[in-house]
Structure 1
Amino acid sequence: MKLIIQIPCFNEAETLPVVLAALPRQIPGFDQVEWLVIDDGSNDDTADVAKAHGVDHVVRHGHNQGLARTFMTGLDACLRQGADVIVNTDADNQYDANDIPALTRPIVSGEADIVVGARPIQTIEHFSPVKKLLQKLGSRVVQLASGTDIPDAPSGFRAMSASAASRLMVFSGYTYTLETIIQAGQKNMAITSVPVRVNEDLRPSRLVKSIPSYIKRSIATIIRIFVIYRPFRFFGLIGAFLFGLGFLVGLRFLFFYLSGNGDGHVQSLILAGVLLGMGFQTILIAFVADLLAANRQLLEELRTEQKAQRLLPLQKTTVTKRAKEAS
């Protein structure tokens, strides 16, 4: 079996050598362990540093495309190189590479398709209280949307089988962490988590430029997750709230009308009509959004089949090459 450890990078020439120095070349259950760096349009020497430190594969973006797209580029590159299992880690040396065997063990044994490394969030000193709270909130939202029990959904330290990697598709341009877990849950993949350790902070997070920005992006990501993956629940709850509120306002007007004081509460009747109309229309949108979500799932299945057909010749070539090397 071949394991490829991928590292998304953007201007990581200083920290990348530290990360690579800690990566293993031998892991139980694998015949080959290779490294792959995705250079996301860096304007420093990230690609050259990667090659100089023994990275097997370097993929480059012509310009910066963001972490989510860089992650997907890495998965596609790993699959083309014949990876049976893919491990994703960060270029800032946040995660302890000694825990990679623990990440891959459930996949090698056939117990899981995806394994997420759960960090000890509450004991990480350089995480602010607000960031810890948002990490917990984000994980809880993902649990509700995906039906999984992953305690650290924002963790980027994860392993996945080639089959699972080929079925993932990230729509967000900000981060892949939450969305991929929700997809795994919806597609009935076996997903679990293992506790992992973290290293000292080498540099500030690129995703968290400021607390207000992080809060804004996190809230937008959470809302988008529900709109995309739970559209009927999202719009249905809003519609039910508006319809229920309009119904209560209407009952209030009816009470005053039957009491002989309806003339002074015409505004309540108008408000009730507006709220009932908005609620009804939002509920209709919930049904339409649910149909669109079903169509999206069908398109994702077609994409997965097309990708499998495209990768099949490459996988056969890789298997033949391994057989020749073994003989």
Structure 2
Amino acid sequence: MKLIVQIPCYNEEATLPSVIAGIPREIEGIATVEIQVIDDGSTDATVEVARRLGVEHILVQKGNKGLARTFQAGIDNALNAGADIIVNTDGDNQYCGSSIPDLVRPVVEGQADIVLGDRRPGENRDFSRGKRALQKLGSRVVRNLAEIEVPDAVTGFRAYSREAALSINVMTRFSYTVETLIHAGQRGLTVASVPVRVNAATRPSRLFKSTKQFMSRQVVTMLRSCVMYRPLRTFMSVGLVMAALGALPILRFLYFFAIGQGDGHVQSLVLGGVLLLAGYITIVIAFLSDTIATNRRLTEELLIRMRRLDPAGVSTDVQIASESDAER
């Protein structure tokens, strides 16, 4: 089996050598281990450092595309390079490369399609109390949306089987972590978690400027995922709630109308009618959205089959750095 460890990078020249040095080159059940660096428009010497360290695959984004698109570009290129397993780790040396054998073992043994590196955020004292609480809350929400057990939903340390990687199609720009889990749950993929070791933080996260920004973007991602992957349940729930709320003022009006005081409560009838109409329209949208979602699933199946037949046919907005590029 061939394993490709991919490292999305943005200005990581200082930490990249430590990340690469920690990646084991011999793993039980794996015949070949290769490293892939995806540079997201770095302004430092990240690409030169990767080339000097002998990285087998170097991709250079045309400008800063964001973590999600960088991750997707790496997945596409790793599939094209014939990877049977793809491990994603961070360029800031947050995760210990020595945990990679534990991460890939369930995939090698055929027990899981996706394996998450559990940082045990509730016990990690490097995280603030507020961040630990938010991590727990976020994982609980993702578990409910994806219907899979996930102790650490936003970990970037992950292993994907080839079949799981073929199904990945990230739509957001901010982060792939939550969206890919919800997608995996909807596709019925087996997701497992294993404890992993982490290193001390080398710098603040560049993905978000504050916890508030991180939470707001993750909430938007979750809402978008609900609409994309569970439109019938999402819109139907909203529609039924609106219809139920609309029925209350109408019943109130009918009560007063029955006792001869209806003239003074027409506003209840108007409010109830508006809410009932809005609920009806939302329920109609639920069925239309479910039809669109069915078409999207068929399109995804077609894309997966195309990737199986020709992984190189998937276009990415990247350049593959080579030795000839360095000479020029």
Measured against the shorter chain, the TM-score band is over 0.9
Q: How far apart, CA to CA, are the structure 2 residues paired with 1:159 and 1:218?
A: 22
Partners of 2:4 and 2:34 within 8 A in 1: yes
Map 1:184-223; keep pairs closer than 5 Å. Answer: 184-223=184-223
Matched with 1:324 is none
CA positional deviation for 1:259 = 1.7
Corresponding residue for residue 232 of structure 1: 232
Deviates more, 1:277-286 or 1:145-154: 145-154
Q: Please name the residue that 2:323 is paired with.
A: none
Letter in 2 for 1:146: A
Superposed, 1:264-275 pairs within 5 Å as 264-275=264-275
> Aligned runs of 1:83-232 on 2, under 5 Å?
83-232=83-232
CA distance in 2, matches of 1:52, 1:77: 21
Paired letter, 1:8: P
Could you tell me which residue of structure 1 aligns to residue 258 of structure 2?
258
CA distance in 1: counterparts of 2:262 and 2:70, whole angstroms:
62
Following superposition, the deviation at residue 312 of structure 1 comes to 8.7
Tell me the amino acid that sits aligned with residue 274 of structure 2: V
| Amino acid in structure 1 at the alignment position of 2:81 | Q
| Alpha-carbon shift at residue 258 of structure 1 (Å) | 1.0
2:276 counterpart letter in structure 1: L
- Contact kept? 1:134, 1:218, Cα under 8 Å: no
| Superposition deviation, residue 92 in structure 1 | 1.0
Cα offset for 1:179? 1.2
Contact kept in structure 2, 1:4 and 1:36, CA below 8 Å? yes
Aligned pair in 2 of structure 1 residues 223, 68: CA closer, same or farther (>3 Å)? same
Q: Percent identity?
A: 51
Displacement after TM superposition at 1:276 (Å): 0.4
Which amino acid in the other structure matches residue 246 of structure 1?
A: G
Tell me the alpha carbon deviations over residues 63-117 of structure 1, each in whole angstroms, 9 at most, x when there is no partner: 1111111111111111111111111001111112111111100111111111111
Q: Which structure 1 segments of 5+ residues have no match?
A: 314-327
Asked which structure has the greater RCO (Cα within 8 Å, sep 6+), the reply is 2
Counterparts of 1:216 and 1:189 in 2: how far apart (Å)?
Answer: 27
Deviations 1:262-306 (A, max 9, x none): 111111110011000001101111111111111110000000111
Mapped partners of 1:111, 1:21: distance in 2: 28
CA distance in 1, matches of 2:134, 2:170: 21
Structure 1 counterpart SS, 2:103: helix
Does residue 80 of structure 2 align to residue 73 of structure 1? no
1:45 matches 2:53? no
Q: CA deviation at 1:212?
A: 2.1
Query: What is the SS of the residue equivalent to 1:86?
Result: strand
- Asked if residue 294 in structure 1 is aligned to residue 294 in structure 2, the reply is yes
Which whole-Å deviations, capped at 9, do the CAs of 1:123-181 have from their partners, x for residues lacking one? 22332333323322222222122221121111110101112111111111111111111
Q: 8 Å contact 1:138–1:222 — kept in the other structure? A: no
In 2, the alpha carbon distance for the partners of 1:292 and 1:144 equals: 23
* Contact 2:76/2:311 (8 A) holds in 1: no
The Cα of 1:215 is off from its aligned counterpart by 2.1
Check the 8 A contact 2:117/2:196 in 1, yes or no. yes
**In 1, Cα distance between the equivalents of 2:251 and 2:169?**
47
How far apart, CA to CA, are the structure 1 residues paired with 2:190 and 2:223? 25
Number of the residue aligned with 1:242: 242
Determine if contact 1:120/1:197 at 8 Å carries over to the other structure.
Answer: no
Aligned length: 313
Three-state SS of the structure 2 residue aligned to 1:152 is coil
**Mapped contact 1:145–1:229 kept (Cα < 8 A):** no
Tell me, in whole angstroms, the C-alpha distance in 1 between the residues paired with 2:247 and 2:241: 10
| 2:7 match: secondary structure | strand
Instruction: Measure, in 2, the Cα distance between the counterparts of 1:301 and 1:134.
Output: 34
**Displaced runs of 4 or more, over 3 A:** none
Could you tell me which runs of 5 or more consecutive residues in structure 2 were left unpaired when the two chains were aligned. 314-328
SS at match of 1:300: helix
Secondary structure, aligned partner of 2:174:
coil
- Calculate the TM-score normalised by the size of structure 1: 0.92
Tell me the amino acid that sits aligned with residue 87 of structure 1.
Answer: V
What amino acid sits opposite 1:82 in the alignment? G
Q: Could you give the per-residue CA deviations for residues 179-211 of structure 1, whole angstroms, max 9, x where no partner exists?
A: 111222221222211111211000101123112
